Structure 1
């Protein structure tokens, strides 16, 4: 699926006033998401983590499949949420700046691939919550988008993201730590798929 109308938008042309305005609006929007997540975590804290139990993914159990949609909004305490907040804002800003429609569809694909990946492959004795699958999804999306769209702007984003968060790719490997490496791995794959599905077409060459 491509979005040809968005390609001609000045907001997607690096260096234009519309581009910087779009980036600023995206940053403000992503900053507004984090307080909402903190509010949810505060409510969960008051309910003794009952929201985690009710809305988390419980792998291979029917009563835990709705967590595919709710788990990105929940976290195992404030430290868990702190660790996801900064990369979520940064990576989400770059993804959102390229278009609201692409952002929504890409996020949906990442949530579904990451969530169902955890549900099918995770341990049934666990409850999985957290936005890290989405974070890894945005990471994978930006990496692949720079390749499939062959854009200098996207290559620059890829370089920045790789320098800041490239080391976190070890999080997609199996580990004995109490983290969902499956969520990271399938989130990353979901982002890569979204980058291909919702890529912009390359501009046609000007006729002579």
Structure 2
């Protein structure tokens, strides 16, 4: 019996296939492993009294605060802050990771960079910004845009689910609370929108056959 190689390669992205559910399950397990790592970092910070969130966070307008662009998302201002980020990080991250590990890594790095750089340029002087919320808003923006650029029923269903669960959180891109970095949320969301376009999956069913087994559209 002959099989269409492109069809088989597309199975992890086709709702209802075994490969689809397997990819979703692996992604959920993967994201569930990330959150304990964040808790371990926070526990070490508290136990050692190292003040990681202060020394390795984003400090706007200061060159010694630039490293926080990539360290800051792994740090939090206490366990309450981390708890509030854990569930949306697992849920949204699962949908993003299910589309491919490389796409997930490239997209996450881009979101971290855009969100962090936006905070560094526009954040309040003297403040220190940490937390995964910029990445969470990036995943939210990525899923919303992915439903448009990839034009699949599955992605539109994800958009609907995400909208129902977290659409209200979009208020976080506006300056409503001086303790919350709305800049990180806004630029994270923008980074996610860009990531969904740059790292979109090319469908082998439109525009002729796709002979690449990569899920990235990198130059």
Q: TM range, normalised to the smaller chain? A: over 0.9
Offset of residue 163 of structure 1: 0.1
Offset of residue 200 of structure 1: 1.4
Deviations 1:94-135 (A, max 9, x none): 000011111011101100000000000001210000000000
Offset of residue 50 of structure 1: 1.2
Offset of residue 47 of structure 1: 3.2
Q: 1:116 to 1:11 in 2, by over 3 A?
A: same
Offset of residue 184 of structure 1: 0.2
SS of 2:37's equivalent in the other structure is helix
Offset of residue 206 of structure 1: 8.1
- The farther-off stretch of 176-185 and 41-50 is 41-50
Q: Tell me what 2:142 maps to.
A: 141
Deviations 1:111-162 (A, max 9, x none): 0000000000001210000000000000000000001111100000000000
Q: 1:160 to 1:170 in 2, by over 3 A?
A: same
Separation in structure 2 between the aligned mates of residue 119 and residue 48 of structure 1, nearest angstrom: 25
State whether structure 2 residue 170 is matched by structure 1 residue 169: yes
Unmatched segments (≥5 aa) in structure 2: 1-5, 210-219
SS of 1:76's equivalent in the other structure is coil
Unmatched segments (≥5 aa) in structure 1: none
Question: What aligned pairs does 1:11-160 form with structure 2 within 5 A after superposition?
Answer: 11-48=12-49, 50-160=51-161
Q: Tell me what 2:206 maps to.
A: 204
What TM-score does the superposition give when structure 2 sets the normalisation length? 0.89
Separation in structure 1 between the aligned mates of residue 145 and residue 29 of structure 2, nearest angstrom: 25
